[in-house]
Structure 1
Amino acid sequence: MQAAPVRPTAVRATAIPSFTTALRAVESLLLSSGQRTARRNAWTSVLEDRRRAKDRIETERVLGQSVVGRP
């Protein structure tokens, strides 16, 4: 007696959302679009402030080296 042939079963693959994607989904449910825009603008401002601070520190370092190099 032979065994019945085995049929492959269908496999479902569901992508698990990243933490950021999940957080944005919750944010969109809880906050109005104006609040979301304000939050994004605030974060963009923070990043820009950090960039300017980094540039200022680099400029001070370069100017400090040029002053030290003078006789």
Structure 2
Amino acid sequence: MHFAAPVGPVLSGTLRALDRALLAGGRRNAWAGVLEDRRRAFDRSEAERALRAVADGAAAPRELPGA
């Protein structure tokens, strides 16, 4: 039985070449948009996690004394 050679280095090199080609033509705004989308997705997941924790009572707010 013949096994194919791993494609990891070829694939990563191809992705790097595509990245350079896409960013070379003044498309840095597109990459900035991708990074911004990733940041928003991370922030959204963190907010959902915090809201879930509050809903489950894990981080219930404390009441002020005398209130």
Q: TM-score, normalised by structure 2?
A: 0.52
Runs of 4+ in structure 1 deviating by more than 4 angstroms, as ranges, are none
Q: Which residue of 1 aligns with 2:14?
A: 22
Give structure 2 stretches of 5+ with no counterpart: 1-7, 61-67
Q: TM-score, normalised by structure 1?
A: 0.50
Taking the aligned partners of 2:29 and 2:19, their CA distance within structure 1 comes to 12
Taking the aligned partners of 1:50 and 1:30, their CA distance within structure 2 comes to 23
Give structure 1 stretches of 5+ with no counterpart: 1-15
Q: What RMSD in Å do the two structures reach over aligned CA positions?
A: 2.9
Q: Calculate percent identity across the aligned residue pairs.
A: 15
Larger gyration radius, structure 1 or structure 2: 1
Deviations 1:8-44 (A, max 9, x none): xxxxxxxx74334313424534664421x11211110
Taking the aligned partners of 1:62 and 1:31, their CA distance within structure 2 comes to 40
